[in-house]
Amino acid sequence: MEVKNGHSLMKKLGAMSHEGGALSTSGNRVKLYFDGDEVYQAKVEAITSARVYVHMEMYMFLSDEVGWNLARAFAAKAKEGIPVRVVYDAIGSSDADDEMFDMMREAGADVFVFRPVAPWRKRSGILGRNHRKNLIVDGRIAFTGGMNLGDPWSRKVVGADAWRDTQISLEGPAAAACDQFFLETWKKVGGSRIEPPQKYSISETGPGKSDCLVIGGSGFAKRKAIRRLYSETLKRAARDVVLTVPYFVPPRRLLNLMRKSAAEREIEILVPRNSDVGVADWIREGLYPALLDSGVKIQEFTKAVLHAKSMVVDDELVVVGSANFDFLSCSLNWELAIVIQDPEVVAQMRTQHEKDLLDSEPVQADWAKLRPWWRQWLGWLGAGVLRRL
């Protein structure tokens, strides 16, 4: 299916459908979530309502209060005889208790681990993680974005320290498209052959008004899909690109493209001052001088942990997904991103960005004064290595 109207970037990215890296859909209902508890409640309700199947692939599935709550929902649905298929990443979920996964299996759910870090096991490995956060119910509704399953995203559990993130639900053919990418994962982990019935086919128009392009990066096989999403956005945006990303550690080609593109359009990036991965912060800071010299605007989020991965392009398109602006997401990891064309969704994302800026500070020429000397030195060293990747 071709995108028939709208932004030229949407049309260009839609061409990726011929290569299997993207699926174009029309007529979706899209809902944005910025609160973890609201997302988790909506997921439980969707799982409970399942009549045909439940599919999920998740990078971080923790055995804490949030994780166990979702696990019990999966188990309850499996006990009803509804097929429940769950894939969790071995590294992302390494802190989880096997008891939680065993409980779901005993209830009748099919639970697989993605690439166990054990050379003696089939389909093992270290690089190329499944970084997706993808839940699909009946091929009718899907949830995806940056939120994993765990307490850090729950304000009810951790209070004001809850991570700032973005998630979306998709009702319509985009949900079926998300399921197509899940089926790739299911095959990768050795799951049995399935042909799940779907309420919506990918080619028909759904009940909503959002055109959505579902882009899936699948390791080495489709490793260019996410990188092309970012590169085409930077090259083809007519006016501006607003990028929110927690780990800004791009490969050299994307970094150079961003600097070049800043001469022709406004580029603003919102990053955390301190993320949950310190080394990523240090490397990012080593890139600040070159970015500022190129005219890129940088804002640092100073409240809690920023984990959202999103873009707004020309006030016409929104991108929400699991992919970071880094080497792993662009070259190795299994990722999922949704490009949305809908004025209401754009307005909601813009409003959230303005709220984020209230808890942010601009990076200016004197930014280094806020950092100790050792952090500046590590940033300089890390950025030097990154420019050679």
- Any idea which of 90-94, 226-230, 267-271, 370-374 has the lowest mean pLDDT? 370-374
Q: Does residue 258 fall inside a structural domain? A: no
How far apart CA 336 and CA 324 sit, in angstroms, is: 10
How far apart CA 302 and CA 33 sit, in angstroms, is: 21
Q: What average pLDDT score do residues 85-109 get? A: 97
Q: Does residue 389 fall inside a structural domain? A: no
Give residue 9's pLDDT band: very low, low, confident or very high (50, 70, 90): confident
Q: Does residue 70 fall inside a structural domain? A: yes
- Any idea which of 65-79, 117-131, 298-312, 373-387 has the lowest mean pLDDT? 373-387
What angle, 0 to 180 degrees and rounded to 10, lies between the N-to-C axes of helices 65-79 and 36-49? 10
Q: Look at residue 102 in the predicted model and tell me its pLDDT.
A: 98
Q: Look at residue 141 in the predicted model and tell me its pLDDT.
A: 97
Q: Look at residue 49 in the predicted model and tell me its pLDDT.
A: 97
Distance of CA 44 to the CA centre of its chain: 20
How far apart CA 304 and CA 309 sit, in angstroms, is: 16
Q: Is 145 left (phi over 0), alpha (psi -120 to 50) or beta?
A: left
Q: What average pLDDT score do residues 98-118 get? A: 95
Q: What average pLDDT score do residues 310-329 get? A: 94
How far apart CA 86 and CA 97 sit, in angstroms, is: 15
Q: Is 240 left (phi over 0), alpha (psi -120 to 50) or beta?
A: beta
Higher pLDDT, 197 or 264: 264
Q: What average pLDDT score do residues 77-85 get? A: 98
CA-to-CA dists, residue 196 to 126, 180, 200, 259, angstroms? 30, 10, 11, 45
pTM for the model stands at: 0.93
Q: Does residue 336 fall inside a structural domain? A: yes
Q: Look at residue 4 in the predicted model and tell me its pLDDT.
A: 42
Q: What average pLDDT score do residues 252-256 get? A: 92
pLDDT mean across residues, the chain: 91
How far apart CA 2 and CA 108 sit, in angstroms, is: 40
Percent above pLDDT 70 for the chain = 93
Q: Look at residue 1 in the predicted model and tell me its pLDDT.
A: 35
Give residue 18's pLDDT band: very low, low, confident or very high (50, 70, 90): low
How far apart CA 331 and CA 328 sit, in angstroms, is: 5
Question: Residue 204 in contact with residue 2, Cβ under 8 Å?
Answer: no
Cα dihedral 201→206→207→208 (10° resolution)? 140
Q: Does residue 379 fall inside a structural domain? A: no
- Any idea which of 87-91, 195-199, 208-212 has the lowest mean pLDDT? 195-199
Instruction: Count CA atoms within 13 Å of residue 69 on its CB side.
Output: 16
Closest listed residue to residue 61, CA positions, set 182, 186, 152, 181: 152
Q: Does residue 283 fall inside a structural domain? A: no
Q: Which domain holds residue 118?
A: 8-246+307-358
- Any idea which of 99-103, 142-146, 324-328, 339-343 has the lowest mean pLDDT? 324-328
Q: Does residue 387 fall inside a structural domain? A: no
- CATH code, 86: 3.30.870.10
Q: Look at residue 197 in the predicted model and tell me its pLDDT.
A: 67
Residue 45 is given by DSSP the state H
Q: Does residue 54 fall inside a structural domain? A: yes
Count of structural domains within the chain: 1
Q: What average pLDDT score do residues 111-121 get? A: 85
Q: What average pLDDT score do residues 354-382 get? A: 86
